[in-house]
Amino acid sequence: MIGVFARILKVLNSETDPAQIAAAVGLALLFGLTPLWTLHNAIVLLLVLFLRVNLSLFLLAWGFFTVLAFALDPVFDALGHAVLTAEALRPLWAAFSATDIGRLSDFNNTVVMGSLCVGLALLPVVWIATVHGVRHYRVHVLDWMRRRRVFQLVRASRLYTTYQSLRG
């Protein structure tokens, strides 16, 4: 657990652009909320590997969003059912499922559709919140922490020693 905290601190205190950190969290949101073996998750994984996102933060956020997804599965199922059975969208789903990509996408699964809709709706919110959160942390919280005596105690702890060894 200390190692995980140290990795988060390493990412937050690094020179990494907040947008790259937000991209890792946003892609982890899409990857974690939806079922693992889907076509769009393969695309998300390719984006993670080709874009400059922090892999350790992506994996940590993926774990968090996966646990969250299990709790929200009934909501995803209900939303996916509503989207897939909407009368206005039936011609779209019929045409899409007639294509090869449509059959591979597994979008006819209510949980996949509902979780993807929620993930896509939350993606801009999570990205913006992460960018602002990282900037706020770097400007205000980190400076405030360095001026406190608590920081001197933390610097003497095992957490800070682990953080320093990872920072290299």
What SS3 state is found at 111?
helix
Q: pLDDT: is 149 or 31 the higher one? A: 31
DSSP string, 124-164: HHHHHHHHHHHHHIIIIIHHHHHTSHHHHHHHTSHHHHHHH
Which of the four pLDDT bands, split at 50, 70 and 90, describes residue 7?
confident
Residue 14: the pLDDT is 80
Least confident of 7-16, 63-72, 83-92: 7-16
pLDDT of residue 155: 64
Q: What's the rounded mean pLDDT across residues 94-104?
A: 91
In the block, residue with structure tokens 């956020």? 61
pLDDT score, position 145: 73
Per-residue pLDDT, averaged over 70-75, amounts to: 96
Average model confidence (pLDDT) for the chain?
88
Band (156; pLDDT cuts 50, 70, 90): low
Contacts of 96 (CB under 8 A, 6+ apart): 102, 105, 107
Residue given tokens 């993930």 in the structure block: 119
pLDDT at 45 over 80: yes
If you ran DSSP here, which 8-state letter would residue 36 be given?
Answer: S
For position 164, what pLDDT does the model report?
67
In this predicted structure, the answer to whether residue 162 has a pLDDT above a threshold of 80 is no
pTM comes to 0.83
